[in-house]
Structure formats: C-alpha cells, structure tokens
Structure 1
Amino acid sequence: MDETTHFESLREPTAPIRIELDSETGEIRIHRETALGSVTEHVDR
C-alpha cells in the first residue's frame, strides 16, 4: 500500500458546517456537527 492511499483512508468524513455573521456585533459563528456532538466557535472580526 502506498503512503498516499494509507493517508486518505485515515481522513475523517467532512462534518456539516454552518457559518453565521452577526450583523450587530460583527462576530462570526461557526457551527460544526461531529460524531461527538456539535461545536460552535466564535470569531471576532
């Protein structure tokens, strides 16, 4: 087995993602659904 094939087999499936922009504060929220639950990250612009 070559290394590229092995590496590809270790990749996780892409998680659904939703990006929201709060027009009042300018904050960006990134929501991701994973196998262990949902994750929300907050980013200030």
Structure 2
Amino acid sequence: MRMCGDYQTRRPLPLVEQAGFVVQRQERLKLGMVERVAAVKA
C-alpha cells in the first residue's frame, strides 16, 4: 500500500547533487526501495 506523500520512483541522488551537496556514500537497500545517501555541503 502506498502511503501519503510516498514516491516509489523518486531518485534522491540527483536532487541532493543539484542542491549543492557532494555525495560521499550511496547505497540502495530493500530491493531498491530505500536509498541511503551520505553527503556534505560543498
């Protein structure tokens, strides 16, 4: 069941980079349903 405000196809990595962050680590979990990103402000 899709929860309110939940976007299954959203990819946060490009959004993080566009916001001016430098990605240090990235991993996808739970069959691609969870994306964990560690980033610092450039």
TM-score range, shorter chain: under 0.3
Q: TM-score, normalised by structure 2?
A: 0.27
Q: Determine which structure has greater relative contact order: mean sequence separation of CA pairs < 8 Å that are 6+ residues apart, divided by chain length.
A: 2
Which of the two has higher C-alpha Rg? 1
Q: TM-score, normalised by structure 1?
A: 0.26
